Amino acid sequence: MPSLRQYTATLVLPAAFFGYALYANSALLLNAASPTAQASEQKELSLGYVIDGEATRDLDALYKNELPHRAASVGLFGNARYALLGAGRKGVIVGDDGWFFTAEEFKTVPAAEIEDAVGRIAEVKRELEARGIQLIVAPLPAKSDVYSEEVPSVVRGTAMAETYGSFIAALKRQGIVIADTRPALLAAKPFGEVFLKSDTHWSPAGAKATAEAVQTGLQMAGITLPSEEVTAQWQTPVSLWGDLTKFVTSPDYAPGVGLKEENIPIYRTTVNAAAAGADIFGNDTAVPIMLVGTSYSANENWSFADFLRQSLRADVVNVAKEGLGPGVPMMDLLTGAALDETTPTVVVWEFPIRYLGTKTLWERDGDKKAGGGNV
């Protein structure tokens, strides 16, 4: 049952917001001398100006550029909402003790969507096999599943765990080699956080556990690679604000409600090519492992490619891309020149299951081509 504090905050926050909005808009209207305001006065007010959306764009620009105290208001209202209600903006689920989750991880994926995705993955497998390349898929479970105890009870559920199980089972039915990452992450969890508390991504500990699961998956499938000498070292950690913090408050004001930056240890590996032996045909670009996937792989802060080199004792070329989900980078890979230039033996496909059922799984946002069809 909501507490008295929550009831009070529910009334006070909107009142404060509308009070500020009245003041800010009054100041905005009185500020007729501003460059933006003067530019907007030169627009001809017409029905076309409104229908075409130009009026909306100009109004949006006016608010962004001219609204007084905008940055401060975003941070302060965000702090108040978080402190009093334990909530953030749309898109984030706030748990206890600074644990944040993306709302994308609280959904039920229809069985047909899973089967469709697996069908596309099977097509990728066949195309890679035609080039003499083995595919291993590393499905990544949802953070809300691995850390379900940190999820508010009102939204806690088993949908993402069930999606992971259904996805794994469907991949196996198609004969696709997999890295079963969920049990690996759960096993590593007692020894350190495998996901970042305020970010959608895994921690280096989670990346390491996943890399070891990839090695196990290849071993179980009987896929072997020549062993190379790999040297590794930890480097100076970096600090960064989790990408979900902006859905709660602004970084400048986050410390005021006890939120902190994430501290990320950096792991780097190097393959000793001389010790591994030179290619007698002089193909210096040949690399046995190619990694494709999302920002979990592309962002070097998580060190996933480095942990793969260490676990597989083999060099890795990373062609993962940020901001496109798992499908588009693979489609780009198949239509590009990287496979021919690098001639990998194995392609590791990192695939977060929270992207299953999304409209842009296989195509960039705004692509006019219909989904489906051959890759």
Report the pLDDT averaged over residues 59-82. Answer: 60
Measured distance CA(267)–CA(203) in Å, rounded = 11
Measured distance CA(345)–CA(322) in Å, rounded = 24
Residue 319 has pLDDT above 90, yes or no: yes
Beta strands in 275-353 (DSSP E): 289-292, 316-318, 346-352
Per-residue pLDDT at 295? 97
CB atoms within 10 A of CB 24: 17
Q: Is 332 a catalytic residue?
A: no
Report the pLDDT averaged over residues 327-348. Answer: 96
| Amino acid identity for residue 162 in this structure | E
CB burial class (10 A; 0-12, 13-18, 19+) of residue 186?
middle
Predicted structure pTM score: 0.78
Q: Is 199 a catalytic residue?
A: yes
- From 116, 180, 199, 306, active-site residue: 199
Residue-wise pLDDT for 191-211, tens only, equals 999 999 999 999 999 999 999
Per-residue pLDDT at 33? 44
- From 201, 250, 297, 306, active-site residue: 201
Residue 190 has pLDDT above 60, yes or no: yes
Average pLDDT over the chain, rounded to whole? 82
Measured distance CA(18)–CA(256) in Å, rounded = 23
Q: How big is the CA angle at 211 (ends 206 and 213), to the nearest 5 degrees?
A: 95
Report the pLDDT averaged over residues 73-84. Answer: 69
Residue-wise pLDDT for 97-128, tens only, equals 889 999 999 999 999 999 999 999 999 999 99
Q: Is 303 a catalytic residue?
A: no
pLDDT band at 324 (very low <50, low <70, confident <90, very high): very high
Note the Cα 191 to chain centre separation in Å: 23
Residue 74 backbone zone (phi > 0: left; psi -120 to 50: alpha; other: beta) = alpha
- From 198, 295, 303, 311, active-site residue: 295
Report the pLDDT averaged over residues 20-41. Answer: 47
Residue 4 has pLDDT above 90, yes or no: no
More confident residue, 75 or 218: 218
Measured distance CA(297)–CA(314) in Å, rounded = 17
Per-residue pLDDT at 77? 67
Q: Calculate what percentage of the chain has a pLDDT beyond 70.
A: 72
Residue-wise pLDDT for 36-66, tens only, equals 444 444 445 454 444 455 555 554 554 455 5
